[in-house]
Chain A
Amino acid sequence: MEETISLQDLFQTLKKRIVLIISLTIIAMGIAAVASYYFMTPIYQASTQILVNQKNDQNNQFNTQEIQMNLQLINTYNVIITSPAILSKVIDNLDLNMTPAQLKGQLTVNSAQNSQVVNLTVQDTEHFRAVDIANTTALVFQEEIQKLMNVDNVNILSPAVNVDFPSPVKPQKLLNIAIAAVVGLMLGVGLAFLLEYLDTTVKTEQDIEELVGLPVLGIVGKFPNEILQNNATKPLTARKKEKAHAN
């Protein structure tokens, strides 16, 4: 037998399980909120900007080719910054208890397209440490690059600064809650359809027509609560008498 699903049926299914869907969404949001407010370690971020620019001693003429070369150098620098050569020095300087590889994971180096400015971003559980790492890395890099490449074209544009009340960049609470809401919603909808699919009971007149092709003589609704209660509390005859009195 071919099973057809109409949009109305889908909508009905969702409507029937609306409580389930909404409660799942709210529960997921709640879990995300609790997790991001109480259990996730906040991560702070600090960044420095490094300017890569060759000092022009010979002539003051504007040289496009030189800028182009600098831009290409930046790519090399990006790799150098995160190399163990630099990072192990940073670790030594700051007495950090981690390997260069671990530190590398905290660092992000990027530069805007065709820009000579390199952004060095550090994430850490402590804001002051993130600032220290960012600044030290920039300094170490500035020093080391002179030895490594025999050039003196790196300047620190803006060092990372300590703020009194830093706000963490992670966890992003609202984003987490929003993601949880979407996940919860999807889960709820999925579960609603699953339950509907697993439910093999007869529901409507159409079900009967489809299954056995017998006419439906009539439908009987669920007994309203007032009738059920009346019936449960008093025996039939007592109720009749009462009614007679009332009339």
Chain B
Amino acid sequence: MLIKRKKKVLQKAARILVAHQEPKSIISEQFRTIRTSIDFSTPDNDLETLLVTSAAPSEGKSTIAANIAVVYAQNGKKVLLVDADLRKPTVHYTFSLMNNVGLTNLLAKNTTLQVAVKKSEVEGLDVLVCGSIPPNPAELLASKSMDNVLEQLKEQYDLIIFDAPPLLSVTDGQVLAQKCDGAILVVSSGSTEKENIVKAKEALLLTKTPILGVVLNNFNLTKDHYYYNYYRMEE
């Protein structure tokens, strides 16, 4: 009972935009490192769509996706963060936005891009929230309409980051991955099962989308860790 309630609260809580709020913190620096790693792993710079997913729920996908979006925006790119988790959307909490119109409405052709895409308080970062929760998320994401929307978005943005549902829970992640140029697997240190990460990798491999790499979340940074010392000294 207690555990259940706790999980629910977590779901509603806003993900922390560390990279925006505390740009000088160690964690923000780590996100910038991730950005650099992504850039290095795609030297031809053809990365337009990036999928952020994980094996199981609550491993930090939304936090990682939002913060990567922020650091890319800070780098001068025009970035769009798409809440592609049509089952448990959270991006609108993170950016304090209304979830009235969003991706699902776009896919259902109920609205236009101009209305659906919202500006965030981070310069250069726009957000496309989930919108009304549909009964058939996987079908929606696989639809032709999704391809059309993606095409339109690609014209307007340098980078589109998808906050996807967990791979092992639902098929949405795989469906989305097929449409993306690269995928990032979020692994939570101390909570992701070893078995699951192997399964998640296999699920992603099926989609033929290149896996750019893994982001290790919730890592226990000890005081003697080199990252820690280096940036503490600067402050």
**A219–B216 touching, CB < 8 Å:** yes
When C-beta atoms are compared, the residue in chain B nearest to A203 turns out to be: B189
Once the chains are docked, how many angstroms separate the CA of A236 from the CA of B189? 27
A61 contacts partner chain B, Cβ-Cβ < 8 Å: no
Q: List 30 A-B contacts (CB under 8 A).
A: A201-B189, A201-B191, A201-B192, A201-B193, A202-B193, A203-B189, A204-B219, A205-B216, A207-B194, A208-B216, A211-B197, A212-B198, A214-B214, A215-B213, A216-B216, A217-B184, A217-B212, A218-B31, A218-B34, A218-B215, A220-B60, A220-B64, A221-B220, A222-B218, A222-B219, A223-B18, A224-B25, A230-B21, A231-B21, A240-B121
**B194–A215 touching, CB < 8 Å:** no
A228 contacts partner chain B, Cβ-Cβ < 8 Å: yes
A239 contacts partner chain B, Cβ-Cβ < 8 Å: yes
| B contact residues around A218 at 8 Å (CB) | 30-31, 33-34, 37, 215-216
A237 contacts partner chain B, Cβ-Cβ < 8 Å: yes
B residues near A (Cβ < 8 Å) are 13-14, 16-18, 21-22, 25-27, 30-31, 33-34, 37-38, 41, 60, 63-64, 67, 95-96, 121, 184-185, 187-195, 197-198, 201, 211-221, 227
A235 contacts partner chain B, Cβ-Cβ < 8 Å: yes
| A contact residues around B27 at 8 Å (CB) | 220-221, 223-224, 227
**A220–B194 touching, CB < 8 Å:** no
Inter-chain residue pair count (beta carbon < 8 A): 126
A residues near B (Cβ < 8 Å) are 200-205, 207-208, 211-212, 214-224, 227-228, 230-232, 235-237, 239-240
| B contact residues around A223 at 8 Å (CB) | 16, 18, 27
Q: What is the interface of chain A mostly: helix, strand, loop, or mixed?
A: mixed
| A contact residues around B201 at 8 Å (CB) | 212, 214
| B contact residues around A205 at 8 Å (CB) | 216
Given contacts A205-B216, A216-B214, A219-B219, 10 further A-B contacts (CB under 8 A): A201-B194, A218-B216, A219-B189, A222-B218, A223-B27, A227-B22, A228-B16, A232-B13, A235-B96, A237-B96
* Closest beta carbon of chain A to B220's beta carbon, Å: 6
User: A212-B197, A214-B185, A239-B21 known; A220 and B217 CB under 8 Å?
Assistant: yes
* Closest beta carbon of chain B to A228's beta carbon, Å: 7
